Amino acid sequence: MTRRRGRKAKWGCLTVMLLFAAVCCAAPISGAISAVVALQSAAGDDGGIAEGGTAADIPPRMLTAYKKAVQLVGRYVPRCRGMRWPILAGIAKVESNHAIGRTIAGNGDISPRIYGVLLNGSGAGGNTTAFPDTDNGRWDGTASGERAVGPFQFLPSTWASIGKDANGDKTADPHNADDAALGAAVYLCGNGRDLTQRSQLEAAILQYNHSTEYLSNVLGWIDQYTAAAKSPDLKNVSGRVRAVLDAALSQRGVPYSWGGGNASGKSYGICCSPSGKSGADITGFDCSGLTVYAYANAGISLPRTAAAQASVGRRIPAGLGKSVLKPGDLVFYAYAPGRDSTIYHVGIYVGSGRMVNAARPGTLVRLDAVDAMSGYAGGARLL
């Protein structure tokens, strides 16, 4: 781990007319990618692939490592309570963007290795304190000093005290996804924290990196991953609202496709999103394509774009807050909330602060926190 400040990254797109087909794409999601790691591949990446409906930004092999670490951490810290994979995912998102852009082998080895800047006090990457070498370059590739390593960005000196072998190869390697995730779990658990308590979770994160900005970034990702991992409680939802939600939820795990989706279901999209991503060879949904499909299952025909959908049904002003939303409501996001012509994204509210979301190119349809997108612009109630 290193002492540094994360930088914010935002993704955006427009509701546009392309090839005579109106489509919507979305996604300003706030997040941090470690300034020290500075992965070249992460700088322009929209995200990875993961198992449907749980964590669409996480490569499957990394998600497996996080879940495995949760199962194993009790062997090393028996008194630890409340360790969950979203906690590890939140840390790894900020530290290395889940090693996206690297190759993750079946045994968990990551290549090329992830290195932070040399912590020699030069000021590069935000470091102002020199750390003397402790591993003779074994893990960080240099005997000239220390640098953080692996997807969880451990200093070699820290790894020496908490590193564990999680994949059974007899070596605790911070460049191995399984080992690194287990080491992070052990470190966060301390002598036996109860991570179900927000105060203790915050203390664990601050131990990892003593920065309030870092704490806020990590907690934001933990909350988003936690929301994505839970299935909604629909026991009190019925009729046409249930038909809409069942249709939308049934598409979790389907790829995002710019321009994809219609009343009949997923479809090939078109080219190209504002970030240059094409949906022409992807069968899936964009945000408004998903809502068109879901509402068609309740006999309601929606316009194709998110901005146009805001004119259907009873408008719910953003000023009323998110607590007035009900399952089945459309949820809108705009570049200039209050001006519906600037709406760039739409989701379907399922309750408990969550929505079904086709977020952006490179992701899958998933459950997200309503707060996952920026520029909340209220909702619309059609049922």
Q: What is the pLDDT of residue 230?
A: 72
Q: Residue 3 pLDDT > 90, yes or no?
A: no
Please tell me the distance from the alpha carbon of residue 210 to that of residue 239, in angstroms, as a whole number: 50
pLDDT per residue over 258-300, tens digit each?
Answer: 999 999 999 999 999 888 999 999 999 999 999 999 999 999 9
Residue 73 dihedral angles phi and psi, to the nearest 5°? -60, -30
3-class SS string, the chain: CCCCCCEEECCCCCCEEECCEEECCCCCCCEEECCCCCCCCHHHCCCCCCCCCCCCCCCHHHHHHHHHHHHHHHHHCCCCECCCHHHHHHHHHHHHHHHCCCEECCCCEEECCCECCCCECCCHHHCCCECCCCCCCCCCCCCCCCCCECCCCECHHHHHHHCCCCCCCCCCCCCEHHHHHHHHHHHHHCCCCECCCHHHHHHHHHHHCCCHHHHHHHHHHHHHHHHHHCCCCCCCCCHHHHHHHHHHHCCCCCEECCCCCECCECEECCCCCCCCCCCCCCEEECHHHHHHHHHHCCCCCCCCCHHHHCCCCEEECHHHCHHHCCCCCEEEEECCCCCHHHEEEEEEEEECCEEEECCCCCCECEEEEHHHCCCEEEEEECC
Cα distances (angstroms) measured from residue 281 to each of 25, 253, 272, 359: 16, 17, 11, 18
Please tell me the distance from the alpha carbon of residue 366 to that of residue 57, in angstroms, as a whole number: 10
Q: Residue 116 pLDDT > 60, yes or no?
A: yes
Please tell me the distance from the alpha carbon of residue 282 to that of residue 273, in angstroms, as a whole number: 13
Q: Which pTM was predicted?
A: 0.57
Q: Residue 42 pLDDT > 50, yes or no?
A: no
* Confidence class for position 18, pLDDT limits 50, 70, 90: very low
pLDDT per residue over 217-232, tens digit each?
Answer: 999 888 878 877 777 8
Instruction: Give the chain's domains with CATH numbers.
Output: 34-229 (no CATH), 239-381 (3.90.1720.10)
